[in-house]
Amino acid sequence: MRVIHRAALVFMLKDIYSKMPITNAVILCNGKQNPYTRKKDGYYVFSNLYPMDYEISISAKGYIDLNFNVTLRENETQVHNYDMSYSVDNESLTHLTKFEITVSHKKERLKDTEVKLVLKNEAKFMKVIEAAQAGTDELKLNLDMMPSLIGQNYIYEFKKQKNEFFIWGYDNEKKVYTLKNPLENDIEPGGKVYPFWNLKTDSLGRITMPIISQFMTESNVDFEIIAPDGLSSKFSADLTSLSESDKVIYLKAGLRKKANKN
């Protein structure tokens, strides 16, 4: 008789903006809620699954649902990390001023779609102060350990070259920030840093985010949304006219095909 060895799935769920663990999620494997261990730090561990294909559905109040497929093999443990996007009814935004952005293309709303939201205002307080070679997972900044920088995606622009990196942690001994993945290209000091977020639109084509004070320091906030199939949109929000009673800044992003530059 052939012995079937079991497999395991581990999910790490975090709030995309605060980076706090999400502990109230419901996770279905092929439509069923299999037994799992839920930990306070945002880990959900399914340790007794058959090796096979699974349709995964993750839902949590205040966040956009996640749906994807995985294939588990015998004796395999897969770990999946997700920063979950806010839904417009997220309770943590109740007393905060937030952006609500409707994303469309040719007058049709872009529903349930993964997009990249780039803040085009430079994070001027962040500077790369030492060159870093491709393949390294360490980056020297002008700032000592700042927890608010960790768990965030960034674009680094220098002489028309762009690098993307995700700050994973901080090495106190070396005084360097550590990256989730090694750099794909060399980085030199003197460039500009821009934060970005990988988000998902809801069933009405909307994304939402709070004003993030450490990055949004100017009176005019500039964004770019980048969507699949080469679609993008640039738009701005003027914060100077906001009153204390204003809680939602409604914006529209009409996507267009990026022109090829030959």
DSSP assignments along 142-154, one per residue: SS---GGGTTEEE
Q: Are the CB atoms for 4 and 73 separated by under 8 Å?
A: no
In the predicted model, is pLDDT for residue 145 greater than 50? Answer: yes
Residues of the chain with CATH 2.60.40.1120: 7-84
User: By mean pLDDT, which of 12-26, 38-52, 114-128 is the weakest?
Assistant: 38-52
Average pLDDT over residues 249-258: 92
Q: Are 100 and 88 in contact (CB under 8 A)?
A: yes
Query: Taking Cα atoms as reference points, which of 185, 188, 184, 180 lies closest to residue 140?
Result: 188
Q: Do 249 and 242 contact (CB within 8 A), yes or no? A: yes
User: In this structure, are residues 145 and 138 in contact, taking their beta carbons and an 8 Å threshold?
Assistant: no
What pLDDT sits at residue 182?
95
Least confident of 39-43, 208-212, 256-260: 256-260
pLDDT for position 186: 94
Joined together, the tokens standing for residue 260 give 């090829």
- The predicted pLDDT at position 35 comes to 83
CATH superfamily of 7-84: Carboxypeptidase-like, regulatory domain (2.60.40.1120)
With residue 123 as reference, give the H or E element that holds it. none
**pLDDT for 121 beyond 90:** yes
On the question of pLDDT at 152 being above 90, the answer is yes
φ, ψ at 168 (rounded to 5°):
-100, -35
Strand order in the sheet with 66-71: 26-29, 53-59, 66-71
Dist CA 61 CA 43 (whole Å): 17
Q: Choose among 146, 185, 148, 145: nearest CA to 165.
A: 185
Q: What is the domain class of 91-120+197-257 according to CATH?
A: mainly beta
Provide the 8-state DSSP code for 93: G
Q: What residue ranges of the chain are covered by domains with CATH 2.60.40.2070?
A: 91-120+197-257
Mean pLDDT of the region 113-120: 96
CA torsion angle 175 177 180 185 (round to 10): -110
Q: How far is CA 62 from the centre of its chain?
A: 16
| CB of 144 closer than 8 Å to CB of 174 | no
* Per-residue pLDDT at 213 exceeds 50: yes
Residues above pLDDT 70, as percent of the chain: 95
* Model confidence at 237: pLDDT above 60: yes
| 220 residue type, one letter | N
CB 254 within 8 A of CB 150: no
Six token digits for residue 245: 């009673």
Mean pLDDT of the chain: 91
Beta-bridge mates of residue 214: none
On the question of pLDDT at 1 being above 80, the answer is no
Closest by CA position to 248, among listed 127, 108, 97 = 97
Residue 5's pLDDT band, with cuts at 50, 70 and 90, is low
The pLDDT of residue 4 is 56
89 and 194 in contact (C-beta within 8 Å)? no
- Is a pLDDT exceeding 90 seen at residue 49? no
**How far is it, in rounded angstroms, from Cα 78 to Cα 74?**
11
